[in-house]
């Protein structure tokens, strides 16, 4: 057993999907592929990284009880919304439910990641810098 202990951190890192580390040029190219923000409102972009756990589950997402999109594994969508506070809720095939809150501001883009894991499903806010790696992966 002791001879395998040094391998545990490597195996743990290999099991984590994570988002790609991308160059500044790749960041710009990724952001340029996103739809334009409606000048009257803001935009919400939600992405889901490729993951073996829950990979077959497609998740529906609602904003203030209105359907805004569906996220299968390794995908994303962006939607223009009017500036306001939003309660995001949803469920995945199999019944897992999730929720989060966000604020959409005029002229700004918000990024969120839908994480599907054996422990549950959650929406997590990201900064532009951390989100673009996940979006890059979803656009491949």
Q: What is the CATH number of the domain that holds 100?
A: 2.60.40.2890
| Tokens found for residue 67 | 């359907």
52: pLDDT strictly greater than 90: no
The whole-number average pLDDT for the span 77-84 is: 98
Range of the domain at 42: 2-139
**pLDDT over 70 percentage in the chain:** 83
How much is the pLDDT for 55? 67
pTM: 0.80
Contact 54, 91 (CB under 8 A): no
Q: What is the largest CA-CA distance in the chain?
A: 61
- Rounded to a whole number, what is the distance in angstroms from the first to the last CA of the chain? 40
Contact 100, 123 (CB under 8 A): yes
The whole-number average pLDDT for the span 12-25 is: 60
9: pLDDT strictly greater than 50: no
How many domains does the structure of the chain reveal? 1
What is the 8-class DSSP label of residue 37? P
- Helix ranges (H only) for 1-140 are 8-15, 24-32, 128-139
Counting every residue written for the chain, the total comes to 140
How much is the pLDDT for 54? 63
């Amino acid at each position: 057993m002791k001879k395998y202990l040094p391998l545990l951190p490597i195996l743990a890192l290999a099991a984590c999907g994570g988002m790609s580390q991308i160059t500044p040029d790749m960041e710009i190219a990724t952001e340029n592929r996103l739809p334009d923000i409606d000048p009257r409102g803001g935009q919400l972009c939600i992405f889901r990284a490729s993951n073996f756990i829950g990979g077959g589950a497609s998740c529906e997402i609602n904003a203030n009880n209105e359907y805004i999109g569906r996220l299968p594994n390794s995908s994303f969508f962006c939607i223009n919304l009017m500036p306001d506070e939003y309660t995001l809720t949803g469920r995945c095939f199999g019944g897992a439910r999730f929720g989060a809150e966000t604020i959409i501001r005029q002229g700004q883009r918000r990024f969120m990641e839908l994480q599907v894991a054996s422990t549950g499903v959650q929406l997590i806010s990201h900064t532009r810098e951390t989100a673009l790696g996940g979006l890059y992966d979803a656009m491949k």
